[in-house]
Structure 1
Amino acid sequence: MSTQAPVNAAKPSQADDEIDLLALFATLWDNKNLIVGITTIFMFFGVAYALLATPIYRANAIVQVEEKSPGLPGMSDITEMFGGESAAVTEIELIKSRTVLGGAVDKLNLDIVIEPKYFPVIGAAVARRFAGLDGEIAAPLMGMSSYAWGGEVLRVSEFSVPAAFYGEEHVLRSLGDGNYALYSPDDELILEGRVGQRASAPGYNLFVSELNANANTEFSIVRQRRLSAIIELQEMLGASERGKDSGIIALSLEDDTPSHAENVLNVVAQNYLRQNVERQSAEASKSLDFLREQLPSIKRDLEEAERKFNDYQVEAGSVNITAEAEALLDQVVELETSVAELQLQQAELDRKYTRDHPAYQAWREQMAELRSRKQELDERIKSLPGTQQELLGLKRDLEVGTEIYTQLLNNIQELDIVRAGTVGNVRIVDDAAVNVEEPVKPKKPLIVVIATLLGGFLSVALVLVRSALNRGVENPDDIEAIGLPVYTSIPLSDEQRKLDGAGRRRQAIRKKHKNQHPHDLLAHKNPTDIAVESLRNLRTSLHFAMLEAENNVMMISGPSPNVGKSFVSGNLAAVVAQAGQRVLLIDMDLRKGYMHKMFGMQPDNGVSDVLGKRISVQEAIKPTRVGELFVMPRGVIPPNPSELLMSQQLTDLLNEVKEQFDLVIVDTPPIMAVTDAAIVGRQCGVTMIVARFGLNPIKELEVTKQRFEQNGITVKGVVLNAVERRASGYGYGYGYGYYHYEYKSDK
């Protein structure tokens, strides 16, 4: 057996890189139909999603955070402790706080999630395109009234469920005429009710304020926990400052219903504004509450002092206060008033500061000084006559009480003015508004482009990965590098695909041909096919190979199933017979042989029957419509094919037929599957193996060669079958000897 050294020597790495790059693009070009197909499918789904996806609208509002200014001129001393400037970052966190958003959840019942049930995939898109009048409902399509088709409305003001069913989907079904039924997540009836009336069941309370839907239309209704609804609203609400330290906060909220997004954002902004005002006036409110709590007590003390003074004057008669006593009285009243004011301030200081705070220490020093002066005046008063002392004390209590009461009323009025004039340091610049003409999602052109690019990327990746994982041999040089000459490369035949019945269209053609009892042999159906021309090249090469062989018996095998060895055997026998030689084709695949199908005959009375001595050799040989070509089918499938082939009858069979025919072609099973080919090959003069383009790895061919050699069989060469026209590597469009010419007679 002749061997050939590897044709391709090692090339520089730079050249290899160039070849790999060209092979990469060539592989993509070979699979251009797959790439275009996958990309088109992705583009189609992108277009479908863009058309069917629910549009999302964005509501926008603008809030300004500004410095707090005094409410009235001259009130700066009072409002200084109540006002203040808030950073925008802090205000954003306040806007998204549970206090602000919780109010919106409570007011708009955002913890009750209601969704009509639409027909899968297209139902929501159909409902959105319903352009009926207000209150009009779309008629159910194809009688499917359980789905919403457009115009349905359900508003629920109250919906309470047991704690175990928070977040669970309940179903509300319209019964018509304003009646409805509520079903549990397990599809059990919970209650029935009517619009505008509260309906109750154990653990459930439901108040439906509006229901406009066809009878049997279903709605999904979910009662969320309040905190869950707040957290969800926090995630949906967008807040950001426009410009550094600008104090301008932009609010946004996205939803599939423009009016809902607008209402929610307006309520959030109003809640934030109200919370800001309440926060700004909180100090004034607390001081005002404290003063109002003290007012009744001071009023009672004043009334008591006035009563005592009047009683004493009635009892003692008309008594005049001397000029000295009058001067002392004025000083005492002034001191007592100051002490009373400081005592009122003590409660405020205790609430704000500790005893060690400088403001508190200054208050204590001031109080000590006033008490010291008051003690001096008390000593001077004791030097007055008893009547004057008594009258002076009563008069002092009355005037001090009047002064304190008047001052307290004045403070209450001032604080009330401050609280009423508080407007906060926040104002709503723009109320929420939605551009209903242009939704923010989905971006239809962008989605289509991304889907198309994704399809292209994935298809290219699929082609490259599949190419990397495909270790099947594609170049005859690789086969010859392991010492196996390649006698011919047979191109993949489209006509043979039709004969094999691959695909629905080809199955129909095959069925039609069967009805007409065709000859499923390519060499007979289409003698000018390019694959048949390659077999004629093989016939020429084998003519010289058979001259050196021990006998005229040639075995054709292969490494694995589905390589096309039966195709090569049958058509090679046909082209040899067409050249005028007497040829016998023997189907030695006693397990799965189907050579009889190619010639439209029955498999019985064949090889297995001859080996089993049930019929003679001549009875098993059947003629065909192809010249001097005869066929011996496999016969009845035996239970012990290998044992039959190892018998003396096989030797007798081959010895008999090789004397009667110019060429005997034996088709055997694949050597990697069973040992039949190794048994038969010992008695054959030439052994050829068939490898399929892109299917059999080079390692598999090496093992096949070794198995034959271990059994004393020399593989004469390889037939590379089903070579595809490719730009990425070897194919029948490349290399000399593989050009396809068409030459017909002129008419």
Structure 2
Amino acid sequence: MAINENTELEELIRNATGGTASPPEAPSASGGDADDDAPGLDIATLVLVARRSLLWMLLLVGLGVTASWLYLRYTKPVYKSASLLKIDERNEGSALGLAGQAAAPAVMDKGRTKLAGEVELIKSNIIYRRLKDSLALDINYYVQGTVLESELYGIAPFRVKYHITDPSLYNHKFDLKFVGPQRFALEFTGQGRPLGGEYSLGQEIKLPGITLAVLGTNELTNAAQDASYHFTILDDRTVNEYLDKNLTVEIVNPEASTIQISFNDFNPSKAQDIVNKIDSVYLAEKLAQKSETTTRKLRFLDQILDQNGQNLERAEDRLQNFVQQTGTYDSKGEFSAITEKLEKLEADRLKLTDKINMLGEIAQMASQGSLTRDETQTVEQSIPALAGIEDPQLAQQLNELNDLQWQLRRASRSYTDKTEAIQSKQANIEYTRASIKRLLQQNQKLLRNELSRLDQQRSKLTGALQSLPAKSTQLERLKRPLDLYVTSYLQLMDRKVQFNIEKAGATADFQILSPASPPAAPISPNRLIVYAIGLAGGLFMGLGLIAVRYFMHNTVSNVRELERNTKASVLGIIPTYDKEKMEVSRLVVDKNPKSAISESIRSIRTNLDFISSAKKKRLISVTSTISGEGKTFVTVNLGGIIALSGQRVIILDLDMRKPKVNLAFGAENVKGVSTILIERHSIQECIQPTSIESMQFISAGPTPPNPSELILSDKFDQMIQELFQSYDVILIDTPPVGLVTDGILIMRKADIPLYIVRADYSRKAFIKNMNRLMRSNNFTRMCTILNDANSRGSGYGYGYGYGYGYGYGAYGQGYYEEPETKALTFGEKIKKFFN
């Protein structure tokens, strides 16, 4: 770097908001600008950090892609084979005839539950046991490849028969290599020691804990004998875990009752065979279950039929006894018959009552006189009810009585009552009346007897009718279980016939809609996804690196950051000085007047002239936040450039605690500003010459105990006024304002205070300190200079990395001396590109 002060950051640096405290007399700002602390995205810094991190980002992306390639290279592909089954749902309750229409929703829920039950059945030990009996899953054969081992499912050049007595040999690796057409070498570790040897194919090998025999297959060729093989014998627990891990059974569509069976394995043929075999053993298990279920149903039906038959016999006996005891079998028919009889009896009673009443009326009429009033009518015509009298004698006598009465009436017209004719007729009439009365009494007695008999019958029928409901209830109570037993018996007999038919032609209640097919491509790993993840991971780590470096980037890198964050005017940029390595600041503009650094300082001098063009005498203070930012280097070389322009310049070193100006000129620091202010030496005694005739300097002198008090004294002002009598420009190298307050006191006296910021060294918080100083002390003419700026990162200039703080034209453009270059290596070119 151009200025290598070889100093560490002082422990007295304040917090991130400012730096040092203001002098007691300096008024503090009452708030400050909100923009000073407002965080924002610095695009220029982000681009700079991204450019510097581009190589790392490319390396991280390459690392991610390489990791993906390695993952694919050393990961076995996984294949998936699947079949689709449709389960035919049936309600067993409805099969027995015991379910109704109201149970339909419950049947649907039960169907879903049955699908879940079928899933559990397929993944149960019942199917696993049948599967292991059908496929040889207890032995896995492998061949060693260049990188990975491959399972030889169905194509192994040998097969093994074994009997293990030592369980520790399960899940153990047995290495096998052919040493001849019929010879092989077997090696494994058993019971804590290596076992094995050379054996022949088909030979029974008895070793501790195991007896086995290796048999050749059709795949045993000369080429196959050159490979290295091994096999593993698995126990039931391991096989079950293998099946549980790779077998997936899921309900695809509950409404369609479809189930998918899939299996994942490194070998596609093995995955297909296992799925197809699961379908087969599931079919066999369902048939066995169906047959067993039908047998149990038949056995249950026989028990129910036997119980139902016994109950039916007892019900029939109870009904038979009741009918025998009561004589009642059809209560409804008896009720109708009794009702009809009662109606007929009531009609007969009415007739008899009418006849009795009629006979009474006839008797009354016969005893009173004429039975008819019309001479043209007979007794039957005058008394219509007389036709219903079944006694013809009574009718005859009534007619005779009626004739006798009419004869008496006609005779009484001609004769008197004393005559024989009248008296004889009256006697006949009385006689006839007596006969009629006797007949009427006799008939009335017969009718009353008949009426009494009818009343007795009615009472009997009424009693029977009243007792009929109890008999009917008891009869229905006895018939109800009888009908139920008969109906159940007939239904169960019908179901027994159907179950016998089902047993004769039992079929599984599912269909294989889509059998397992050999998988064409592996499901895992997906090469595109793996590479995409690797690429995304590399990009993510690269972006994370950029983000981390951006958020950890707390220094000023370029002039854009400086201009955006500071309130002071950017006076110029001083590029990196890399011609030589300097342990302390040196005057370099006199040795390299055409170099880029000299031209950049000339540009700063020009801008200073524009700022203070009206003043012939100028006091310029140069300060920074901390030591090491290059204020001494800028002071010495800026003074040299001003002196080379024809002005008389003197440099004062007021950094009395760590003086460096004398080191820049290779002089002593025996006397200087401190001895002048205490009046030990005069100004002329302390002025020291430099390599430039019009520029001198006064060193700091011995370190006093009270530098601030000396600067505040009147002696300091008198010294400045005396120096202005001989010099045009006074340049003061002040102490860092972030460590002590001396620099602030001097900046108040200066015409132009300059604040040095070193690229990639000064923290961004230092700029906030500078802004705070400007607000607190009203430094309206403060300017800042970016020192040690990289030519590619500064963002200004024309190849040398410096620019012009106020937009004025370059001084001596086209006059610059190009730095000496040398051929760069490829690595240096790459580094230069990314930096």
Q: TM-score, normalised to structure 1's length? A: 0.50
Greater relative contact order (Cα 8 A, min sep 6): structure 1 or 2? 2
TM-score (norm 2): 0.46
